[in-house]
Amino acid sequence: MHHVWIVEDDFRVAQIHQDFVQAMKGFKVTESIRTGNELIEKLAQAEQLPAIILTDLYIPDVERSSLITHIRQKYPAIYVIVISAATEVALIKEVVHLGIFDYIIKPFEQQRLEQAFNKYKQTIAIYQQSANVTQRDLDSLFYNAVVNKIVEDETFVKGIDAHTLQTVKDIFEKEQQNELTASQLSELIGSSRSTARRYLEYLVSEQFLEMISIYGSVGRPERKYVYRGTYEQN
């Protein structure tokens, strides 16, 4: 279970962020913090540090990026995701140079946070798989980010996020998952079942997958989504 801390002075906004995180499998909010000083104290006293900190830049008792600076200097292993309404280029450049993992502009949809967390899981998986990485591994971290940005800038189907879509395709292509149900995919990508089905149905429309119905003895037939590349390999 990956522990997440939320730093947000508005308790209503913090609750929304917490609900988004708790909806994703494998992640748990273990602290919801209102001030910068409270965060600094809790980090210093923590028996277990969080894997991820979600933080605004406008926290009443700290100056803009100073909290990010503190986290990155004292706790470099923590992944920092900024969630803020701030859009000033100078400020964003500053926190990017400090080493934040992602930057999400308020207001945002749950899918955007899912994208950030999926990227986190992908990064962790690469770091843990062996002592060395391949160029392909590094390309998935750095190059795909550029490709996804290009795709996102194009007109895309509503409700389909480019990064999450690529993650789903990789599951079928690279991880050799030839067939999956929506429930199985939702566990793999940490999303709701309805979100997983949306991506599967989209890939059916793109002829990347084929949907088949499995009829049991009772109840509705189960839908399975089969990778068309399986047929090409056979």
From the first residue on, what is the mean pLDDT of each consecutive set of 10 residues in the chain (234 residues)? 95 94 94 95 96 93 89 96 91 92 89 91 84 78 54 57 86 80 90 89 87 71 81 50
One domain, residues 102 and 132:
no
- Pick the closest to residue 173 from 142, 203, 130, 143 (CA basis): 203
Q: Which domain holds residue 183?
A: 127-233
| Distance in angstroms (rounded) separating the CA atoms of residues 24 and 190 | 5
Pair 133, 100 in one domain: no
Q: What is the pLDDT of residue 147?
A: 44
Other Cβ atoms less than 10 A from the Cβ of 157: the count is 12
Residue 13 lies in a domain: yes
pLDDT of residue 22: 92
What is the b/e burial string over 23-59, where b = at least 16 CB atoms within 10 angstroms of the residue's CB? ebeebebebbbbebeebbeebeeeeeebbbbbbbbeb
pLDDT at 155: 43
This prediction has a pTM of 0.62
The CA distance from 90 to 179, in Å, is: 46
* Domain termination residue (choose one: 79, 108, 137): 108
Considering the domain boundaries, does residue 116 fall inside one? no
Query: What pLDDT score does 220 carry?
Result: 66
- CATH number of the domain residue 63 falls in: 3.40.50.2300
Domains in the chain, number: 2
* Helix axes of 66-74 and 89-98: crossing angle, nearest 10 degrees: 10
The pLDDT, as a whole number, for residue 216 is: 62
Bridge partners, 213 (sequence order): 223
| Overall size of the chain counted in residues | 234
Residue 162 pLDDT = 80
